[in-house]
Each structure stands twice: as C-alpha cells, then as structure tokens.
C-alpha cells in the first residue's frame, strides 16, 4: 500500500482525534504547518476513502471521516515513542476491533519486502539442500535451543542461552531458578519438535490445531487448556481482549479465515502471530503459541522457521502493543522481515 506522507499525517490525526469533517481536518493540518487548501484536503480524503484507508460517515449533507481497517493496518507508527506515553494517555483502541480480521488486507508486504523475503528463502533452500544427517541434527538442535531461549526470555524467563543449552542437551536445570522456567523451555522444545514433525497439519490453521499447540506449550505450568472462560488484561495497556468464550471462538474462526486469504506464506505466518497475540484466547501462553504457530505455518509451506534470536525484547513488546491498540502491523512487520532474513541465512533446518 503506497501511502503518502500527507496521508500518513491525516491518518495519525484521525487516530488521535476520532472522526472529523474535512474543514476541521484542514484547520488541523494548517496548524501543523501544512500549506494545503481545503479543496486539496477534500480531494485527498476522497482518494483515501476510495482506497479503503478511510471510511466516510454521512450526517445529512456533510461527511466525517474515520480511519478504516486498511488505514490502521498500514499507518506508520513509532512504536517506542507511542509506548513511552502512559497507557491511560494513549489514543489506542480499548476494545477488540470486530472488523479487523474480516477486512484485513491480503497484500500486507511491499514489493521490496517480498523481494527481501524471496531472496532469503532462496538462500535457505540452498543451505538446506543435501545437508548430511549429522549436520542436520546439530542444526535442528541449535535452532530449538535458540528459539526456546529467546521465546522464553520474551516472556520474562531468566535462563541464559548457555543454561538453555545445558537443559536441552544435558537435562541439567540451572541452579537458583524456578522449575517453571525449565519447564517453559522444555515445552518450547517439545512444541517445535511437534510442528517440525507434523508441519502438514498446519497447511491451514484451526481452533483444534491451535489448541493442540497451546497445550504442549503450557504442559505442567498450571495453565488451563482450551479457550479461556474468564477475562484477561494486558499489562501496560488499556486494551481489553474479548471476555466471552463464544466471541473468542468466533474470533479464532475469523483469524483462520483471514490467514487463509493471505497471498503468501509469510503473510499467513505474520497475521497468525499477531492475531493470536491480539485475541489472547487462552489463560496464558498466548504469545508463545503465536510464535510457534507462525513457525508451523512457515514450515508447512517450505519456508524457514524463526528463532527470534537477534530480536530485542522491548522492541518486540512495543511492536505488539501497537498492534493491540492501533492495529498497525508496520512496526512488527519490520521485525518479522528482519528475523526471517536472519533465520533463512543462519539455520539449515528443513
């Protein structure tokens, strides 16, 4: 989606202020130093509405304009700057956007991003061709260790990479750590092994295979399995996920449908990852399930799985928060492309 800087500014204003008429929006743009006529503003708003970036709200002979799903998804947001604002002072959505998955664009990557992902996949295919069994085994172990470590670290686990390696390869728990930390890491190992060995199950996602993956990730951690029946909150956010099991189930179906419509496996993986994180369908373990589900989809389509080894945890959390509250995929999409390129050129796991 090609969105000009002026259009990005208009979307940003509407996200903060809510629906506005063209005259009020023109005044705001002028106040921000934009030398623009009312006629140009009206023409720009009409173009943005035609491209589904905005929606027009009719009221008599006048119209107000609000940001549509496509505009939200593609608005450029500085995730760090946004998240430095106190949660109660931010202008994000406080409730679930029921239109998000139904209207999710299928073409979420730019041509440049697709070229980067395609080149990375070509390098991955070359790396994974005719790999001797002994090397393939070591490569699989390396990916499992680094994924289990970083995905757990994102959740606050304090095991180091070396601790994780000893736990997985030598079955030695780190001294001074809660047993639950070791269990979380071992569950990651089991979950990745499962999706690696049964990748065909994830050619399409469903409530059943998502719940199956979640159950592996929360085994022996005191977390209930199946869709939650109670509300959950998001630390540091006023966004409130759905609290009704029937709506959560419908949300899973809407997400699965959106994923199936995506035009590439990369888009399928990214929307599944963000979607599960956004829905928060389980008592706990949602983001872990999201990351492993994305890998399952990538593996199911012959693409490289991600370890997230080089991602910075706060950057990951901030990009996720922007999706929760503003529905913009832009900050997280950059992380995804960077991590895919890194993984495809680093590991030889097929």
pLDDT tens-digit profile of 159-197? Answer: 999 999 999 999 999 999 999 999 999 999 999 999 999
The length of the chain, given as a count of residues: 350
Helix (H) or strand (E) holding 48: helix 38-50
Domains and CATH numbers, the chain: 5-67 (1.10.10.10), 111-346 (1.10.3290.10)
Q: Are 322 and 329 in contact (CB under 8 A)?
A: no
The predicted model gives 95-106 an average pLDDT of 97
Q: What is the C-alpha separation between 181 and 197, in angstroms, rounded?
A: 25
Q: What's the pTM?
A: 0.95
Is the model's pLDDT at 327 over the cut of 70? yes
Categorize the per-residue pLDDT at 60 as very low, low, confident or very high, splitting at 50, 70 and 90: confident
Task: Return all residues near 122 (Cβ < 8 A) that are at least 6 apart.
Answer: none
Residues 61-70 pLDDT 10s: 889 999 999 9
Cα 200 to chain centroid distance, Å, stands at 22
pLDDT class of 1 with cuts at 50, 70, 90: low
């Amino acid at each position: 989606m090609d969105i000009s800087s002026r259009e990005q500014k208009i979307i940003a204003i509407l996200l903060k202020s809510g629906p506005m008429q063209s005259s009020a929006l023109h005044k705001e743009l002028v106040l921000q130093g934009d030398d623009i006529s009312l006629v140009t503003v009206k023409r720009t708003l009409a173009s943005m509405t035609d491209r589904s970036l905005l929606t027009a709200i009719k009221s008599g002979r006048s119209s107000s304009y609000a940001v549509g799903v496509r505009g939200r998804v593609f608005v450029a947001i500085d995730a760090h700057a946004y998240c430095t604002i106190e949660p109660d002072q931010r202008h994000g959505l406080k409730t679930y956007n029921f239109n998000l998955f139904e209207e999710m664009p299928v073409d979420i990557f730019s041509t440049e991003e697709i070229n980067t992902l395609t080149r990375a996949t070509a390098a991955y295919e070359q790396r994974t061709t005719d790999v001797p069994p002994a090397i393939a085994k070591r490569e699989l172990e390396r990916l499992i260790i680094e994924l289990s470590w970083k995905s757990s670290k994102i959740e606050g686990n304090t095991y180091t990479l070396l601790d994780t390696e000893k736990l997985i390869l030598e079955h030695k728990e780190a001294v001074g750590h809660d047993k639950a930390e070791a269990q979380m890491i071992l569950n990651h190992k089991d979950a990745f092994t499962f999706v690696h060995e049964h990748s065909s199950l994830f050619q399409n996602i469903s409530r059943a295979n998502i719940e199956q993956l979640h159950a592996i990730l929360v085994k022996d951690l005191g977390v209930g399995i199946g869709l939650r029946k109670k509300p959950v909150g998001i630390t540091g956010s006023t966004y409130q996920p759905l609290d009704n099991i029937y709506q959560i189930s419908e949300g899973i179906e809407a997400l699965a449908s959106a994923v199936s419509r995506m035009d590439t496996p990369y888009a399928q993986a990214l929307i599944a990852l963000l979607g599960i994180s956004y829905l928060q369908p389980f008592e706990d373990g949602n983001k872990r399930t999201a990351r492993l589900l994305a890998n399952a989809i990538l593996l199911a389509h012959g693409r490289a799985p991600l370890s997230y080894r080089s991602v910075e945890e706060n950057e990951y959390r901030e990009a996720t928060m922007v999706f929760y509250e503003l529905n913009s995929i832009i900050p997280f999409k950059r992380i995804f492309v960077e991590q895919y390129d890194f993984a495809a050129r680093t590991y030889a796991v097929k």
